[in-house]
Structure formats: C-alpha cells, structure tokens
Structure 1
Amino acid sequence: MSSQTFKRQLPPQKYGDVSFPAPHIMLVIFNRPQALNAMTSEAQYELESLFSWYDSEPSLRCAIVTGAGRAFCAGMDLKQWHRATTCRANGEHDGQQMMPRSGFGALSRRHGKKPVIAAVNGLAFGGGMEIVSNLDLVVAAKSARFALPEARRGVVAMAGSLPRLARTIGRPRATELALTGKVITAAEAREWGLINAVTEDGAADCAVLKRPVVKAALGYAMDIINNSPDSVIISRAGIVAGYENGSAENASRLLSENMDSALKEGENFREGLKAFAEKREPRWVDSKL
C-alpha cells in the first residue's frame, strides 16, 4: 500500500475498509460480506463523510469502490429498514433520514468533484445498482449481476437511479429493470451501455487487490491520475452538467463561464503547455480547484 500524508484527517470508518494502493488513489471496500455488503443507515453517513473528505483532500485524485466477499452491494439492510418503518408508524423517529443527501451509499446522487470508479465483483442489487448508475466508470467481473428488485418487496428505487438509467440505457431497458426486477449479467450490462468493461472472475480466496476487476479499475485510475488533476476535475464537471441538466449548450456555457479562468490561472495549465514545448513529461501538482 502507498504511504501518503494527508492534510486532513481521515474520518473513522466501520463499514468501509479504506486503503491507498498507489499515490493519489483511494480504494474503498464495502466490508460487510456476511450481509452481502447491505448497508445500514449509519454506514451510508460514514461513507458520506469519507467521500466529502476525499473531494477536499488535495493529494487524492481518483477513488475506486468494490465489495468484500461475493457481493458488490446487495442494497439497503432490509431488517433495519423494517425497524425504522415500524418506529415511524409508532411515532418514534429521530428526524434523521435513512440515507444522506448524496443518496444511497453517499454515491447514488453524488455530484462531487473527483471521479469514482466501481469495480463490481459480484451482486449489485437495489442500492448497489443505484450506486453503479451514478459512478464515473464501471468495471465488472464476468459473474457480476445487476438488478433493481425493489418492486418485489413493495418499495421503489428512490435513490436516483431511475431517471439516470433512463438516460444511460434508455427508457425501454430502464423500464424492464425497474418494473420486472430482472437480473442482468455483466455482458448484458456492457451491451446496454451501463458499464465500461468486463473482466475475468477472481478465485474465491483471491485478495481484493489481485482480483482482475480491481486491477482493471486501477488501470483506469492510473490513466486518470497521469493527467492534469485540474483538467480531470473540470472535464468531469462538464460531463456531469450535461448529463444532469440535459442541455449540452447550456452546460458548455456554464462550464466556460465558471471554470475557464480557474483552469488558465492554475499551475497545471502552464505546466502542461511548458512540458509539451520542452518535450518532457509534465510534473503535475495537486489541484487547488
């Protein structure tokens, strides 16, 4: 693991196993394998603190999420959800929502500043699928499976995936997933445009960092961190703005108005051009955006 010195203290985590496998890269393992990494409300608020810290920590430039055991994430802890629903029905409610404003696992409605890559190692059901639908890049092992089974339990995928999936894979396929609860394979997910790549499966006892799917995600992350961190942040902002707001022209105008000056005033803008002129590799500095 890479040893890094951070300017801000890493928030404590019980659910997420956090490590730094290479400079500038954070790896988060959803670590509740006995429950297929189903998330409690507490876990989601922990992850919200973690990803807020990630965005504000200058030395980090890309994050990867994966799951311990045989699942990526099987969604919400339904037993806790049932208890919370019963308490509300009895007027016993502490006022805190089951999930944070940034959505399920702090990722399904996250805008954020820096990219997050999913390395889907197994089941991505319910909330796990909602996370996948909003991440920047998704790599899946061949045996990974994706589904929105909420309708079979009398609930609805309300954490942001439905409108996002309609845009990503189209209304007919999004409808098929949400209304039937159909389970799709990694190959189907790639064919539908939901994920970027499919890898071989790792052995059952394979260490997380040796899984082909995590290695592939790390490959993407290394490609990202080799580029200007300023350019990555601003390019991602332009993609997210167009995806979320629908108007390509309006998103382009806002990106130019809000970010062009910040880019050109930054050290990395000058370094990139200088390195090209001097025929050498650029030496990027941590982004100040």
Structure 2
Amino acid sequence: MAHPAFKSQPPAQTYGVVSFPARHVMLVVFTRPRALNAMTSAGEYELEALFAWYDKEPSLRCAIVTGAGRAFCAGMDLKEWNQRSLRRAAGESEDRPMNPPSGFGALSRRHGKKPVIAAVNGLAFGGGMEILANLDLVVAAKSAVFALSEAKRGVVPNAGSLPRLVRTFGRPRTMQLALTGRSITAAEAKEWGLLNAITDDNADDCPVLERPVVKAALDYAVAIAGNSPDSVIIARASIIAGWEDGSAENASRLNCEKWDEHLDDSENMSEGLLAFVEKRAPKWVDSKL
C-alpha cells in the first residue's frame, strides 16, 4: 500500500481494503462479504483513522466507498451488538462507545474536509443506509436495495441518519422508511433524492474496478479531482453548512467569514484566473487549507 507521493502512509486496515485507482483518488472496499460487510466496532475505528488521514493527506482530493460481494453494507455486526448489550446488562463497562465520534463506519456523522462518494453495489441496510444519508454523492447499481430495518430488531438508527434523511426525503417518506422497516429499490431511492445516478448491475465475478457502479463513481471522483482542490473543499463546506444549519443566509455569512480570505490568498485561485486569461488548462497545486 506504500505510495511515494504521500506525506505519510495510510493507517492499517483489516475491514477496508484501500487502493488508489486514479490520481488524487482513494477507493475503500468494505471487505467482509460473508457477513454482508456488517461492521464490527473495531472496523469502524479503523475507518475513522483512515478518513482522518485522508483529510490530512494533501495529494488526495476525493474518496469512494463500496462493498465486496453482493452487499454495500448490512449495518452493525448484530452478534457483537448483542454481546455488548449482555455485558451492559451485567454491569460491565466498555472501553469506548460502539461508534466513533464520526458516526457509523466513521461516515454517518462525518463532516470532514474532502468529499466521499458511495458506489452502492448491493444491499445497504441499517448502518449502511446511515452512511449514505451523509455522503456527498451516491451512485447505485439498479438492483441495489435500501432499508432502515432497525425497528425489526428492537434498535434505532441513531447514528445520524434520521435528522439528515428527513431533509432529503421529507417527513412522510422518512417516517415510512424508519417506522415500517421496509426496503426501497434504487429507482425509489433516486426518486426520493438519495441517488445521483443508477447504473447497470455487474456479473458476480466482476472485479471491483470493472463494476459499472464503481466506474460511474470513479468518473465523478476524477471530475472532482480535476478541479481546484481549494474550491472543492470550500464549496462542500458551504453546502454542508446550509444543510446542517438550516439558514441559508447564516451559512453564507459564516462561510464567507471563514473562507474568503483563504481563497483570495490561495495559489489555486490565482492559477485558475491566470489560466483562463492565458487560455490554457490550470495546473492546480495540493490544497493548503
């Protein structure tokens, strides 16, 4: 996994397989296919360290997450959750919370600095759906299925998805999803506003990078990575501020106060304007934000 362009190397992973399929792009494959990529708490903390590293690594500009096998992610490992519940009932304490501060899979409550795209290759249930509720772009294969099925197991999807999904889906649809536990198709998810695109399915033995859904996500990632990394970081922060805060004007004011001076002084803004004047492609440098 060593990469000479990086200032430091990514932290070791046992749940996610990390690769770099294009310049400035990181791909993370959730790799526990026999368990439908259900996550253990240890795997979540590994991912939190990975995405913290991704935000700090100057040469990386966009990330993609997908799943091995026939699932994107089936949520939390319920066997581990049950063991934690039994220990709690016995009065035993845990060393740390089940989920890291950045939420389920280190993504469901992550703000971060750089964008993350989902390539949903199969079912996204429970925590898998919670991850998608907070990602920047979502592409899905046409046979992908989505659900918040926690109510069927006596638990609640409380890793950040419900307050976010109500902004995307609206109250009636979010209520339907969370209270009935029913699944929805990729077509419904796109109609409801979750998906950017739907792709063809792939053959069972298709390598990850050959999957249509991963190719589509990679196309988005390469397009993002080809733009000014400063512009991407600031535009993303502005969108998230408006979504989280609820006030468009307040979010605009705060983001101008925080970012305008940094952008005006940046090499990439100067380069982008000069490249336009000189009628050539800009040559971006790694962001210093």
Task: Normalising by structure 2, report the TM-score.
Answer: 0.99
> Helix, strand or coil: the match of 2:253?
helix
String of CA shifts for 1:178-228, please: whole Å, max 9, x gaps.
000010000110011011100000110000000000000000001101100
Q: Distance in 2 between matches of 1:228 and 1:173?
A: 37
Matches within 5 A, 1:172-191: 172-191=172-191
Residue number in structure 2 paired with 1:225: 225
CA contact (8 A) 2:145 2:186 kept: yes
- 1:125-158 deviation line (CA, Å, top 9, x unaligned): 0000000000000000001000000001000000
Q: Which residue of 1 aligns with 2:71?
A: 71
The equivalent of 1:39 in structure 2 is 39
User: 1:95 offset after TM fit, Å?
Assistant: 3.2
Q: Say how many residue pairs are matched.
A: 289
Q: CA separation in 1, counterparts of 2:8 and 2:171?
A: 42
Q: In structure 1, what is the equivalent of residue 256 of structure 2?
A: 256
Cα distance between partner residues in 1 of 2:184 and 2:33? 22
Q: SS at 2:49's partner residue?
A: helix
- 1:282 is paired with a residue whose SS is coil
The answer to whether the 8 Å contact 2:146/2:184 transfers is yes
The aligned amino acid for 1:273 is L
Moved over 3 A (4+): 1-4
Q: Deviations over 1:52-76 (max 9, x none)?
A: 0000000000000000000000000
Alignment-derived partner of residue 197 in structure 1: 197
Q: Which residue of 2 aligns with 1:24?
A: 24
Q: Secondary structure at the match of 1:79?
A: helix
Q: Where does structure 2 lack aligned partners over 5 or more consecutive residues?
A: none
Q: Which amino acid aligns with 1:62?
A: C
- Offset of residue 110 of structure 1: 0.2
Question: What residue identity is the alignment partner of 2:158?
Answer: M
* 1:125 counterpart residue number: 125
Question: For residue 53 of structure 1, what is the aligned residue in structure 2?
Answer: 53
Counterparts in 2 of 1:108-147, with a 5 A limit?
A: 108-147=108-147
For 1:28 and 1:154, locate their aligned partners in 2 and report how far apart those are by CA, in whole Å. Answer: 30
What letter corresponds to residue 70 of structure 2 in structure 1? R
Equivalent residue letter for 2:93 = H
**Could you tell me whether the CA contact under 8 Å between 1:2 and 1:20 is conserved in 2?**
no
- How far the C-alpha of 1:4 sits from its partner, in A, is 5.0
Structure 1, unaligned stretches of length 5 or more? none
Q: Distance in 2 between matches of 1:37 and 1:174?
A: 24
8 Å Cα contact 2:2-2:9 kept in structure 1? no
Does the CA contact (< 8 Å) of 2:110 and 2:134 recur in 1?
yes
Task: Find the aligned partners of 2:198 and 2:51 in 1 and give their Cα distance.
Answer: 26
Corresponding residue SS for 1:260: helix
